[in-house]
Structure formats: C-alpha cells, structure tokens
Amino acid sequence: MSQTHNWCLTLAFLILVVLSTVGRAEPAPPQPAPPLVFMHVTVIDATGVPPQPDMTVVITGDRIAEIGLTQHVRVPDEAHVIDATGKFLIPGLWDMHVHWYLKDFLPLFIANGVTGVRQMWGMPLHYAWRQDIEDGTLLGPRMSIASPIVDGPNPIWPGSMVVRDAAEGRQAVTRLKQAGAEFIKVYSLLPRDAYFAIADEARQQGLPFAGHVPYAVSAAEAAEAGQHSIEHLTGILEACSTREEEVRSERVEAFVRRAPGQRRPSPAHLRPLIRMMLETFSPEKATALFARLKHHQTWQCPTLTVLRSGAFLDDPAFRNDPRLKYMPAHIRAQWDPTTDFRFRARTEDDVALARLVYQKQVELVGMMHRAGVELLAGTDVLNPYCFPGFSLHDELELLVQAGLTPLEALQAATRNPARFLGKETAWGTVEQGKMADVVLLDANPLEDIRHTRAIRAVVLNGQLLDRQALDTLLAQAEAAAQAVPRPLPDDVTITIPTPDVPPALAAFSGRWAGQWGGTLDHVLVVEKIDGRTVTLIYSWGVAPAWNIRTPGFQRVHGTVGEDGVLRGTLGNGAEVAYTLSQDQQTLSGEYVLGGRTTRGRFTRQ
C-alpha cells in the first residue's frame, strides 16, 4: 500500500470518527492510564554500569519512556508520581526453569517481582494462560513455553513424548514445531541417535532445543550439537571425570537394569558411580570443557535451588519454611521426602554423598562463570521446596555463594534471559524504550543480594502494583492454598506402570485435578493399572450447586476400553468416562447420572 493511499484511509477514518461522535451523547472513551513516574530513584539497570543515583524514570503505557537525572527530566503534569528517594529500581526478574500447572500460583510470581518464566514442560493450558495474560484478563508473568518433555523409551515421567530412534526424533521436532513449541525440551533417557537427529532436525527447522544432557551423550557433544541450554548441570560433573566414558556407559547400563516399574536405578547402583565421579574430578578436563561450552555459546541454567533441596531435603529448615503456607496440602505432601520416589530409597551414606556432589556443583558454577560460560537463573519450581516466585531470590543468593557478584547474579535473572531468548531489545534491562517490567526495592541489592526480596512495588507491562496490591495477591494465594476442598485417603500409592503396560494406558497413571461443570472440584488418582483394569480414587469437594456439603472420596475400579477411554461406575450409580488428550496432559471427562451429562477437564498434577 502506498503512503498516499494509507494517508487517505486515515483521513477517511478520522472523518468517520468525527461524524459518528457529533451530536451523540456518548460516554468519553476510556482515558489511557496517566504516565507513571519514579523520582529520585537509584537505577540499577542491569546493563553492567554502576548504580545511577537520583534518577527519574517515566513510564508511559507499557514502555519506559524516559530515564534521566531528576533535575533534567520534565515530569508530565497528569503523571502518577512516586517519590522513590532511598529506593532502587531493577528490571523485572525471570525464573528460567519452572514447571507448574496450577493457576493459583501465577500471582506468587508477580508478588515476588518475577515478571517472566520459562516453562520447561509446555502444556496447552500454558498457551491459554499466556493469551489471557496478553489480553489483560489474567495477571501473570510473561512466558517462554517449551514442548512437552521428549524422552527415550520407558521415560522417567509419565506423559513424556517418547522417541525411540532417529526417525522418531525428526518426526517429533516437526510435530512439536507445528504445535507451537518455542523450543524442544530434551530429556535424560534419549538414545544417542534420537538425540542427534533431534538436534539436526531442530537446526534445520530453526527451533532451539534445551534441557538435560541425555545420559548417553557427553556434555561436549551436546554443546557441539547446538543444545541451547543445559539444565541442572546435567552431564557436567561426568564430563570432568578422567573416567568419563566409564561413568557414562555404566549409568546408561544402570537405567537399563532398573527394576520393573522404577523410574530410577537403585541408589546402590548409582553410589559407586557418583563416588568415582567425585574422586576422578580433573580441573584440566573441567577447563577444557568450559572452553568448549563458551565457544559453542551453550548456556547453563544450574538451578542450584533444586540441587540444594535435593541434597538437603532432610534438613528441618525446609519443612519449617514459612513459605509453605502458600502451598496446598497435596503439594506439601509431594514435597515430603518420605514419599518422593527420588529420595525414599536413600541411606545416610547417600545423603552425605549428595551433599558432597552439591558442594562440587556450587564450585563448578563459579568455575564456569570465571571461564566465561553464560548463566541463567532458574529454580525448578514445583520440585520440592522450589517455591513459585519466592525461590528465584534463593537462586540469586546461591549464585552469589557460587562466586558471582550481586550484579552478575541479578543479570542472570534479567539481562541474560533476554539475551538468551533473543529479546534483548524488548526487555531485560531498565533502559529507555524497553517494556516497563521493573521492581522497586527498599534496599540496595548490590550491597546484599538478599535485598531483592525487599520489594516495595512491581511494574508489569506498565501496570503498577504497590506494596498493598502485592500483599493482597499474597493473601489470596495463601487463602487458595489453605482451602482444602478435596480429601484423599492416607494410603494413596501410585504404582508406576510396568514396561509391559502399553504407553496409551500407562499415561493415565498419576493424579489429575479439575472441575465438573466448572463448579465441582474433582481429583482423580489413577493408582494402579493391571491389564485393562485400573484402580482409581475418585474424590470430590464441597459444591452447593450439586447439593454436596461434605467433601469425600471413594476407591473404585475402572476399565480402559479398546477405544482408549477410561470408564468407571461410582457408588451413586454415576458413570464416569475420561479421555486422554493427545499430549497426555489433560483428561476430558463425562459424568452421567440420571440421563444428565456433565463435562469436566482435568490436568495432570
């Protein structure tokens, strides 16, 4: 379209607008929000320059419109002015490694100044949230969304996409790209040929891949293959061992020899391997590896938060954490080390060994940082004691313990995520023209990184949430967590399906939550799958609309038919039927009683 044509259209439109408003008593159109101004604030913009005192920052709409010395900036007349004397302005924080599926947790990120997250197991509901957040109907952080986990045969997590060989690896990339994934999440049990095929296909299709370094692949190979980020330092300690090959092949073997139905090898199998890795650590190998990571621009998201909670889970400090009040009972139960499959089988020796590994991992992060390897701050929300929002501040503290300066730790959660995601022109620093995602602090985070917790206000997309608004979000989250609508029996034990259970059946295993007809809370626990017979717990909450005044549960048997639908009959004669979505992350359900059908949607927990 030519410029003139464009201009004519604009003119015609203006005339129409004028004509249509003349002579009509219509209410005035909504006024845009007045500019928001922080005066006399110290700006820590995260570009790397020193703090800039006595600045004035003008936010117009969703952008940072102007930054300058207070004496030089003209404050618009109608502006909402905040005197920020003695306060510090930093960019909104990003947690670059989260997994969670409960909407109730969205405000916890915002209340903690976390204005962006990288979802490491993408699900359809995340895309729906993102749309609602963009539309302004839901309050939540910006999101970068991964594919579902892509793992090898007998995957660690039920519901993963299983890839057995190179051909399936290529198909997976094509399918996931079509489904809208921003990147492929690769996982621990991918076979070598499948992994390298995914890497090659992803490169050809221009889609990044990130995640765990599979056990069958070395960290150097992953870097060479173009893996965008390595999570949880997977493969790093192995690659620093003088007996790297041996460690790798024995670990792969240990997974092959897993007892039926077990996700991980027994600690007895892993113990000697872990000892060998620690004893054969080679600083020279480490230096060579870090040079390669730097050369290939392979980012590290160490998630020290989850590595630490894994190693120190029996420390009572975790179980007494006051932030647990924001977690619903079923999450608190999942975090109990006596029930988690990863920790249940551990002896005192294993715990001591895990702590040594953690100390080494902290050391590795410092070494990598000094070697110029790029770092991202991530926590692994909703793993044990990885709190939505809160734990990002724990991660910053741990990064400083590992040897980063407070400014470098801050950059790992602000500027670095933007650079990593190719968004450095849009956000990540406090600079003119950037999205207005900023956090106002009461104390200087460069003096003590724990001061990032002293949040006075958060601005998300130009919208101000002052301390009172943030406290309201926290109170709502606490109330939602304390509501206990859905009881479950004490003896819930989910038996991991054995390898002979077909994957389409095995995918029902686990715990699902949602509502019938949008009003009746329902949790379904699929405990055991035996042939086509399924043991399940059907539980419900209080629902006045259904005339249900007390919550309850019953354990019943169901069957999965040839059509892949799980059906059962409840004590009241109701027939329930559940169908798995294609990505196996949601169940759509039908509840039929007295000829009336109610529908429901349930997501994997």
Residue ranges in contact with Zn ion by CB under 5 A: 120, 380
d(CA 92, CA 110): 9
d(CA 359, CA 383): 20
d(CA 245, CA 259): 24
**Residue 304 beta carbon to Zn ion: minimum distance, rounded to whole angstroms:** 13
**Residue 95 beta carbon to Zn ion: minimum distance, rounded to whole angstroms:** 11
Using DSSP bridges, classify how beta strands 566-569 and 552-560 pair: parallel, antiparallel or unpaired: antiparallel
Query: Which residues, 6 or more positions from 131, have their beta carbon under 8 angstroms from its beta carbon?
Result: none
- DSSP, residue by residue, 178-240: HTT-SEEEE-TT--HHHHHHHHHHHHHTT--EEEPPPTTS-HHHHHHHT-SEEETTTTHHHHT
Q: Cβ closer to Zn ion: 148 or 568? A: 148
**Residue 381 beta carbon to Zn ion: minimum distance, rounded to whole angstroms:** 9
Q: Cβ closer to Zn ion: 382 or 410? A: 382
Tokens at residue 199, please? 């890497």
d(CA 466, CA 90): 15
Q: Cβ closer to Zn ion: 120 or 247? A: 120
**Residue 313 beta carbon to Zn ion: minimum distance, rounded to whole angstroms:** 16
Tokens at residue 573, please? 């004669």
Point out the residue whose Cβ comes nearest to Zn ion.
Answer: 380
**Residue 603 beta carbon to Zn ion: minimum distance, rounded to whole angstroms:** 18
Rg (alpha carbons) of the chain, rounded to whole number: 26
Q: Cβ closer to Zn ion: 168 or 380? A: 380
Cα 565 to its chain centre, rounded Å, is 30
Q: Cβ closer to Zn ion: 97 or 415? A: 97
Q: Cβ closer to Zn ion: 354 or 523? A: 354
**Residue 288 beta carbon to Zn ion: minimum distance, rounded to whole angstroms:** 28
d(CA 464, CA 33): 11
Q: Cβ closer to Zn ion: 151 or 380? A: 380
Q: What angle do CA 239, 356, 237 make, to 5 degrees?
A: 5
Neighbours of 547 (CB within 10 A): 6
**Residue 303 beta carbon to Zn ion: minimum distance, rounded to whole angstroms:** 7
Q: Cβ closer to Zn ion: 120 or 166? A: 120
Q: With the C-alpha atoms ordered 105, 109, 115, 117, is the resulting torsion angle positive or negative?
A: negative
**Residue 305 beta carbon to Zn ion: minimum distance, rounded to whole angstroms:** 11
